[in-house]
Amino acid sequence: MATTEFGRTVRRWRDRVPPEAAGLSAGEHRRAPGLRREELALLAGISVDYVTRLEQGRAANPSEQVVEALGRALRVSGPEREHLFHAAGLVPPGQGTVPAYLTPSVQRLLDRLAGTPVAVFDASWTQLLANPLYTALMGERRGDERNGVWRNFLGSGSRVRHTPESLRALETAQVAELRAAQSHYPADRRLRRLIAELRANSARFAELWDAGAVGHIEASRKTVDHPRVGPLTLDCDVLSVAGSDVRIMIYTAEPGTADAERLALLGVLGTQSLVG
């Protein structure tokens, strides 16, 4: 019963989110005013098939991560977020866990940056939200790959070009920030599992963790090797949201440069499959 109510709620609420609010093109042949299933799936970082099965009541027991991701993509308010968790048969996360909720005001800020690659991360560097241009720039990330620390130590890495020195600095900063997150949110079970997996499977992570690595993720200039438009050298800034431990990562190009032209081209290429 709870899953059926959850599916009905997701279906009803995606109809009220205009695609323009999520940085997507409205296109010309829409049967409904809101998000399509594939657009909701893209914004939430889950498969279209799973969204379909949830809405039709054929998928049971969605995880906390899925409910949280769908809530962000649907732009829910605080009370609506609680309802979504209860409809899924779950208790909303409480204090002592890594915050993953984005307020409507932060959502509106992100909506106004549709022409800029923007992603939002929690305190453990798990990607909570990415606009279409960020996804076009960095590629779509699912499952464990949504966590930047896991991806760099155990996964496929990223499209960002690194020197040995810049890679060491990134690794050190990621380990230090994960340790800080653990001290701030000791009750978060997903964070504990992430750290345990990294220590068990990455000798480099374990070495830095045991050494008490110190560092921070800072603003920098990065070169992204993109498979379709070539290399883009961009400024990367990380902004903090006061009171929530949420980080907003923004990539910008210097106006009038070849990098700005490539980024503009990527904005066209990256959204073509969603227009119709």
Q: What percent of the chain has pLDDT over 90?
A: 51
C-alpha dihedral sign at 145, 147, 153, 158: positive
Q: What is the pTM of this model?
A: 0.75
Q: Model confidence at 275, in pLDDT bands (50, 70, 90)?
A: very low
Domains of the chain: 2-25+32-92 (1.10.260.40), 107-274 (3.30.450.180)
Residue type, 121: F
Q: Other C-beta atoms within 10 Å of 46: how many? A: 21
Q: What percent of the chain has pLDDT over 70?
A: 92
Rounded Cα distance between 43 and 37, Å, is 10
Rounded Cα distance between 259 and 233, Å, is 6
Tens of pLDDT, residue by residue over 211-266, are 988 888 888 899 999 999 999 999 999 998 877 789 999 999 999 999 999 999 99
118 in Cβ contact with 130 (< 8 Å): yes
Q: Tell me the average pLDDT across 1-9.
A: 75
Is 209's pLDDT higher than 50? yes
Rounded Cα distance between 194 and 147, Å, is 9
pLDDT at 131: 87
Distances (CA, A) of 155 to 59, 134, 143: 28, 19, 11
Rounded Cα distance between 60 and 99, Å, is 25
Q: Model confidence at 104, in pLDDT bands (50, 70, 90)?
A: confident
Residue type, 158: S
pLDDT at 274: 40
User: Nearest-CA neighbor of 249 among 112, 149, 129?
Assistant: 129
Question: C-alpha angle with apex 79: 74 to 80, nearest 5 degrees?
Answer: 30
Residue type, 116: T
Q: Other C-beta atoms within 10 Å of 210: how many? A: 10
